[in-house]
A and B are shown apart, each in its own frame.
Chain A
Amino acid sequence: MAGSNPNAKPMNLTLKVWRQKNRNTNGQIVDYQVRDISPDMSFLEMLDVLNEDLLRKGDEPVAFDHDCREGICGSCNLFINGRAHGPEAGTTTCQLHMRKFSDGDTITIEPWRANAFPVNKDLSVDRSAFDRIIQAGGYVSVNTGGAPDGNEIPIPKEIADRAFEAATCIACGACVASCKNSSAMLFVSAKVSQLALLPQGNVERKTRVENMVAQMDKEGFGACSNIGSCAAECPVGISLENIAILNREFLSAKATSNNLA
């Protein structure tokens, strides 16, 4: 394997994997053994090995979500050994490498658990609740026509940086998964504060936060208790400051918008 460490010894692991046929059935933990896992493999590659074994035996492979496998799409979402995206901070599951584990380890793998994220199958959950929250207000209005000049609207560097930090949210759902209240407030706050900080977001500023919070509540996510699990587990380091921004955006919108509902 190119770039692999020749001294790394292959590992044998016991996996305890959540298996669930569909969202209408109950799931359970099933034990599997995987052998000769290279420490250079990513966690998802290790699961690929498991699935190849299962296919060879004629068993159903384990369903899990993944797409870019480079930490930017937010698709891979596994609850590994009791932590969202596993033991390493600031990492998505696809960027977690097997060198973080040791030979003989037992690894428990579960899907995100939240009422608003029903399990599709095994480790794959339906996160379309996030899509509906974005549809409720996570957008800006722009004029059609020629492309505007890049520096037409001056934005202070510090504001641009803070908005960019919030914009790095990949909507993986680790905040919901790790929160004891299954609250989506870190996600919603990242989206709201990103657009609230920038002049482009001003047109829908009040309706955005009102509609996104209403949709968040409708989807059945819990409320924030300022525990901080979300920010600790967030693979891109979205900070709790965003939740404070969300709260004051919400409060000022509710107090001043023309929306009587």
Chain B
Amino acid sequence: MSWINNTLSSSIGRKIIMAITGLFLCSFLVVHLIGNFQLFKGDGGLAFNTYSHFMSTNPMIRVAEIILVAGFAFHIYEAVVLTRRNQAARGNQKYVVSHIEQNSDWKSRNMGILGSVILVFLIVHLYNFYYRYHYEPLPFDSQNNKNLYAVVMTSFQTWWYVALYVLAQIALCYHLLHGFASGFQTLGLNHRKYTPVIKAVGYAFSIIVCAGFAAMPLYFFIFKS
């Protein structure tokens, strides 16, 4: 089976793993965003808490969670391997004068930095909601579900927490503005009929998803505190 190993450890193989995991994580963002829109329902969080209970107890969702974690793990691992390889490829002597900004976008050159900001956010985010939901005693709502909505509300009334979330969503937006279309290109899906559509959808996707996520902390900070 060395051919599989050779394929996946080649430069193109690693990029293909980046693309597949990246686009898979995009699909996760859609599910996560739609589910969390229930925060805006104005029912004191009952629907959101019911949804949270389902998401953390349904066995199918738990299996999906493992796949999701694997998606993040491979995406981050390949990013580190590729970044190190790409930096080594330049050699010890860098350009004395470089004007790479004249031929490429800042966001596409800084996917690693943007990804690192998202990773820091992810760790804080997982601690605050995932860890506390599963491993800390939480109050219950009137339907006897753990009241995650209350945790969301108190978190999003803290200004620095809101600032971190909004910053992370800006980073995610720039990450996706390059990453979405780039994933298709890496998979070889470049065609003069479809590539302009993929690029347009990628732009709309990045902005809508990130604006949607950023709206949640801002909504609680502005209207609920």
Binding site for B on A (CB under 8 A): 16, 18, 26-27, 29, 79, 81-83, 108, 110, 113-116, 119, 178, 180-183, 185, 213-214, 216-217, 220-229, 232-233, 240-241, 243-251, 254, 259-261
Contacts and interface: CB of A to CB of B under 8 A. Distances in A.
B187 A247 contact: yes
B103 A229 contact: yes
B57 interface: no
A240 B192 CA distance: 12
Contacts of B7: 254
Contacts, number: 151
A228 B195 CA distance: 15
B82 interface: yes
A82 B89 contact: no
A5 to B, nearest CB: 28
A198 B108 CA distance: 33
Interface string B94-125: 11111110111100110100000000000000
A96 to B, nearest CB: 15
Given A220-B88, A229-B100, A247 B186 contact: yes
Contacts of B95: 79, 82, 110, 113
Contacts of A119: 93
Contacts of B86: 180-183, 222-223, 225
B126 to A, nearest CB: 27
B108 A243 contact: no
A232 B103 contact: yes
Contacts of B96: 16, 18, 29, 108, 110
Nearest to B183: A226
B31 to A, nearest CB: 26
Contacts of B89: 114-116, 181-183, 220-222
B11 A217 contact: yes
Contacts of B62: none
B42 interface: no
Which residue of A81, A178, A185, A259 has the most chain B CB atoms within 10 A of its CB atom?
A: A178
B75 interface: no
Interface residue SS majority, chain A: mixed
Given A108-B97, A228-B104, A254-B3, 7 more contacts: A110-B97, A115-B89, A213-B10, A222-B85, A244-B190, A247-B12, A261-B2
24 contacts: A29-B96, A82-B98, A83-B99, A83-B103, A108-B96, A110-B97, A113-B95, A115-B90, A180-B86, A183-B11, A220-B88, A221-B11, A222-B86, A223-B15, A223-B86, A224-B15, A226-B185, A240-B185, A240-B190, A245-B188, A247-B15, A247-B187, A248-B188, A260-B3
Nearest to B6: A261
B104 A232 contact: yes
Contact of A259 (B3, B10, B13, B94): B3
Contacts of B97: 16, 81-82, 108, 110
Interface residue SS majority, chain B: helix
A133 to B, nearest CB: 13
A180 B105 CA distance: 12
B206 interface: no
B100 to A, nearest CB: 6
Contact of B100 (A115, A180, A185, A220): A180
B82 A227 contact: no
Interface in B169-221: 178, 181-182, 185-190, 192
Interface string B127-165: 000000000000000000000000000000000000000
Contact of B190 (A217, A221, A241, A249): A241
Contacts of A250: 10, 12
Nearest to B179: A226
B91 interface: yes
Contacts of A108: 96-97
Nearest to B190: A244
